Structures are given as structure tokens and as C-alpha cells.
Amino acid sequence: MVPQPIACLLESRAFAIIARVVLTFVFWGAGLDKLINFSAAAAEMSHFGLPAPDFIAALAIGTLLVSSLLIIFNVASWLGYGALAVFLVLTIPVAHPFWAASGHEALEHFRVAVEHVSLIGGLMVGAILSHRQKAG
């Protein structure tokens, strides 16, 4: 049984909004950084060998910011959760190919990839809870 003060917190609309802001912090923070430092974002895309680095950087920024807003405001949040999960899946082979590295570099890429997988799990839970809230 959940203590009453904790139950009230978990049922609070404000707490749900704060939770969605915190969950998406890594995404909207990165999106704002890339937006403010667009040339560095495009250079990063070029570094990873992606075609049309300016376009890919703009696409990444749009995905990070729009998806975060959809989740935070709980509007078509399924799309935001899904887009960010796909974004994370795609970054693993592009930016963190631990299987192609060795030594410390491989370990660092592996750690980031594992963190991405865990964050995907958090996004999945968020999508489930958002769906249940709207269905209930």
C-alpha cells in the first residue's frame, strides 16, 4: 500500500508535468544546444559521415524539440515518445558503434548504448502511462 502523501503526489497533474519535463530534459537540452550552436551540430553530423549535414542537423533539432514538447504537453505524446525512441536507436550505430571500437573507446560507446536502451525503456513506460491516462 502506497502512503497517502506519496499517492497524492503520484496523482498530481503538476508532478506528471514535472516528470515529463525531467524525462525529456536530455532531449530538449540537446536540441536547444544544437539550435544555438547550429554550425557545431552540422559539423557533428559531418563527423559521423552523414550526408547533407545541415539538413540532418536541422532534422535532429526538430525531432528533439518537437518530440519533447509533444511529451511535455501530453499532446500526441505517442508520437513524441516513438520519435525519441527511434532517434536513440539510430544514434547507436551512427555515434556509438562499440562493436567497431576497442579498449576504453569501445567500453565508453557500450556504456552510452546501454544508457540509450534504458532511456528507450523509460520512453516506453511514459507512452504506456500516457495512453492509459487518456483511455481511463
Q: Where are the domains of the chain?
A: 4-135
Per-residue cell: 5: 502523501
Of the candidates 62, 123, 128, which has an alpha carbon nearest to the alpha carbon of residue 88? 123
pLDDT tens track for 68-121 = 999 999 999 999 999 999 999 999 999 999 999 999 999 999 999 999 999 999
91 within 8 A of 43, measured Cβ to Cβ: no
H helices of 1-136, where? 4-11, 13-36, 38-47, 53-72, 77-95, 103-135
Confidence of residue 134 (pLDDT cuts 50, 70, 90): confident
- pLDDT band with cut points at 50, 70 and 90 for residue 64: very high
What is d(CA 74, CA 4) in angstroms, rounded to the nearest whole number? 26
